[in-house]
Structure 1
């Protein structure tokens, strides 16, 4: 059977990055007080986060864990750890201020976890990129 999950993971990476970038731009702008800094941080993340998200999806595709809210929660937590480290690093480098990096990174923890969880729940209902899904817990 052909593995079509790559298409799915790419589509998920793109849709999540759109949501995540808008959140990062807004939070970075508010915290730094500079809309240009917010845009720079948000757009710098596009490349790093899409790559990291794709890798995260590939790892979780291989994890043998029952499809459930528990799985979505664990994926949310592991992704948020990776994403927060990336955001803090980029915000620090772009703003030149480590406190901006820390503030942006930590403020995103809550907003991104909620947004990511909702994104995962929405994608769970979509069969795009799956040849045949085992629908255990709908």
Structure 2
């Protein structure tokens, strides 16, 4: 059978990036007090996060943990670690201030974990890009 999981992971990466970028722009703007810094950080993350998210999805696809809340929580924590580190580095470089980078990276931990968990739960409801009955096997 043909493996369409790449389509699924690309679609998930795109939908998550839209949500994540909007969250980053707003948080970065509020924390830095500068809408342009927020916009620059958010736009910069589009490329880095899409690549990192796709790799993260591929790795988790190969991990044999049955689909459950436990899997979604573990996946949320691992993604947030990667994502926050990326945000911290980009915010530091763009703002020129490591403290601003730390504040933005730390602030988004909570918001992004909540949004990511909800994103995972919603995607779990759809079989797009999966072989028939794959969800039951996971």
Please indicate the TM-score interval, normalised by the length of the shorter structure.
over 0.9
Of residues 32-41 and 128-137 in structure 1, the stretch that sits farther from structure 2 once superposed is: 128-137
In the alignment, which residue of structure 1 is the partner of 2:55? 55
In the alignment, which residue of structure 2 is the partner of 1:98? 98
In the alignment, which residue of structure 2 is the partner of 1:89? 89
SS at 2:18's partner residue?
A: helix
In the alignment, which residue of structure 1 is the partner of 2:123? 123
1:80-129 superposed Cα distances (whole Å, 9 cap, x missing partner): 00000000000000000000100000000000000000000000001110
What does residue range 32-43 of structure 1 map to in structure 2 within 5 Å? Answer: 32-43=32-43
TM-score, length-scaled by structure 1: 0.97
Task: Provide the rounded CA distance (Å) in 2 between the counterparts of 1:134 and 1:4.
Answer: 11
Task: Provide the rounded CA distance (Å) in 1 between the counterparts of 2:53 and 2:71.
Answer: 16
Task: Provide the rounded CA distance (Å) in 1 between the counterparts of 2:129 and 2:91.
Answer: 34
TM-score, length-scaled by structure 2: 0.97
SS at 2:2's partner residue?
A: coil
Task: Provide the rounded CA distance (Å) in 2 between the counterparts of 1:20 and 1:99.
Answer: 21
Tell me how far 1:135 sits from its aligned partner. 4.0
Contact 2:9 2:57 in 1 (8 A): yes
Unaligned ranges ≥5, structure 1? none
Tell me how far 1:136 sits from its aligned partner. 4.0
The answer to whether 1:75 aligns with 2:88 is: no
Q: Aligned-residue CA RMSD in angstroms?
A: 1.1
Count of aligned residue pairs for this structure pair: 137
